[in-house]
């Protein structure tokens, strides 16, 4: 599938449809590589890079280029702060979030696209290629999870019709135990201390380990209550999940549990943060 030619004055709905289609098509590119004996390169920051990262980035750009909104992608050209500090609106993209999980072949990797307005992630899309799940957060409409997305992606008539085919987040659950999300690859001493604090407050606490932005999705959908991240992340790691969580009614703050996360900072490294239901 190729990206749709867009009019100069694109509507918000059309923009978000492009983001959703781009995430899905990028996921298909990733799965093509996932089924091969791919090689792994190492970037300057020592993080892994595969052909899937590159192909996903290129596919997403096919869909976002026509929106007329600048794109900040992990695998794209990183503009200086002077060039991007005046952006009122931009796309924040991680074409393959969880490359380490991709290399391990455990399926816990995602495609992340967020729409940032005045430093706030207002809408976001996360596609989980292996599970064929699409998470969508849209300002003013809420957050949704669509299962078996590949079976319906071409049949919806508009954005509202697409969202009607999903489950609105949070999804009701009969879960009784307080649940905290941890990182499968990045568990810090501070996170373990926070876990002990939650046990003091809630008694029994279940720890759920997960890779990539799926951790944010678990809180957004109500499968977990809190995700403390006391280890390094970049803005593109969290933008889409942050948007989905906020639109699902979650609170996203720095570790102080007061200051909201902001985006398009001079330094794109996130502070430590907490996402709570």
Give the model confidence (pLDDT) of 25-50 as tens digits: 999 999 999 988 888 888 777 677 88
**In-domain check, residue 5:** no
Q: How high is the pLDDT of residue 150?
A: 96
**In-domain check, residue 122:** yes
Which domain-ending residue is among 147, 168, 189? 168
Q: Are residues 53 and 111 in the same domain?
A: yes
**In-domain check, residue 4:** no
- State which residues form the domain around 189: 178-276
* Per-position b or e across 118-135, b if 16+ CB within 10 A of its CB: eebbbbbbbbbbbebbbb
**In-domain check, residue 248:** yes
Which domain-ending residue is among 148, 168, 188? 168
Q: Are residues 118 and 214 in the same domain?
A: no
Give the integer Cα–Cα distance in Å for 66 and 6. 6
Alpha carbon 245 to its chain centroid, in Å, reads 10
> Is the per-residue pLDDT at 69 higher than 90?
yes
Q: Are residues 191 and 95 in the same domain?
A: no
pTM of the model: 0.93
> Is the per-residue pLDDT at 234 higher than 70?
yes
> Is the per-residue pLDDT at 1 higher than 60?
no
**In-domain check, residue 133:** yes
Q: Are residues 19 and 143 in the same domain?
A: yes
Q: Are residues 97 and 207 in the same domain?
A: no
Looking at the structure of the chain, the number of domains it has is 2
Q: Are residues 73 and 188 in the same domain?
A: no
> Is the per-residue pLDDT at 186 higher than 70?
no
Q: Are residues 160 and 200 in the same domain?
A: no
Q: Are residues 126 and 222 in the same domain?
A: no
Q: Are residues 145 and 196 in the same domain?
A: no
Give the integer Cα–Cα distance in Å for 190 and 81. 31
Residue 206 belongs to domain with CATH number: 3.40.190.80
The more confidently predicted of residues 70 and 40 is: 70
Range of lowest pLDDT (9-13, 16-20, 225-229): 9-13
Give yes or no for a contact between 235 and 252, defined as CB atoms under 8 angstroms apart: no
User: Where residue 184 falls among pLDDT bands split at 50, 70, 90?
Assistant: low
Q: Are residues 109 and 239 in the same domain?
A: no
Q: Are residues 103 and 222 in the same domain?
A: no
Q: What is the pLDDT of residues 44-68, one digit of tens each?
A: 776 778 889 999 999 999 999 989 9
Q: Are residues 90 and 210 in the same domain?
A: no
Q: What is the pLDDT of residues 145-176, one digit of tens each?
A: 999 999 999 888 899 999 999 999 999 989 99
Residue 74 belongs to domain with CATH number: 3.30.540.10
Mean pLDDT of 13-21: 95
Verify cis geometry, omega within 30 degrees of 0, for the bond prior to 170: yes
User: Where residue 7 falls among pLDDT bands split at 50, 70, 90?
Assistant: very low
Average pLDDT taken over every residue of the chain: 92
**In-domain check, residue 1:** no
């Amino acid at each position: 599938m190729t990206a749709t030619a867009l009019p100069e004055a694109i509507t918000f709905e059309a923009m978000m449809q492009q983001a959703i289609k781009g995430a899905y098509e990028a996921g298909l590119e990733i799965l093509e590589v996932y089924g091969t004996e791919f090689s792994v390169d190492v970037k300057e920051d020592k993080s892994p890079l595969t052909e899937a990262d590159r192909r996903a980035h290129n596919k997403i750009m096919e869909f976002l280029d026509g929106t007329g909104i600048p794109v900040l992608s992990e695998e794209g050209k990183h503009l200086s702060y002077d060039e991007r500090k005046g952006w009122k609106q931009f796309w924040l993209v991680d074409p393959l979030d969880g490359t380490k999980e991709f290399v391990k072949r455990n399926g816990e990797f995602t495609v992340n696209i967020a729409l940032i307005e005045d430093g706030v992630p207002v809408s976001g899309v996360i596609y989980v290629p292996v599970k064929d799940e699409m998470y969508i957060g849209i300002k003013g409409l809420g957050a949704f999870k669509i299962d078996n997305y590949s079976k319906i992606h071409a049949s919806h008539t508009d954005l509202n019709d697409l969202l009607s085919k999903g489950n609105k987040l949070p999804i009701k659950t009969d879960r009784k135990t307080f649940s905290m999300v941890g990182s499968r690859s990045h568990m810090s001493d501070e996170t373990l201390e926070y876990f002990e604090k939650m046990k003091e407050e809630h008694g029994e606490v279940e720890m759920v380990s997960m890779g990539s932005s799926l951790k944010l999705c678990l809180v957004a959908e109500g499968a977990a209550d809190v995700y403390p991240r006391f280890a390094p992340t970049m803005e593109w790691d969290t933008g889409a999940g942050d948007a989905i969580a906020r639109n699902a009614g979650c609170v996203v703050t720095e570790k102080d549990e007061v200051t909201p996360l902001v985006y398009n900072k001079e330094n794109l490294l996130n502070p430590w943060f907490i996402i709570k239901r």
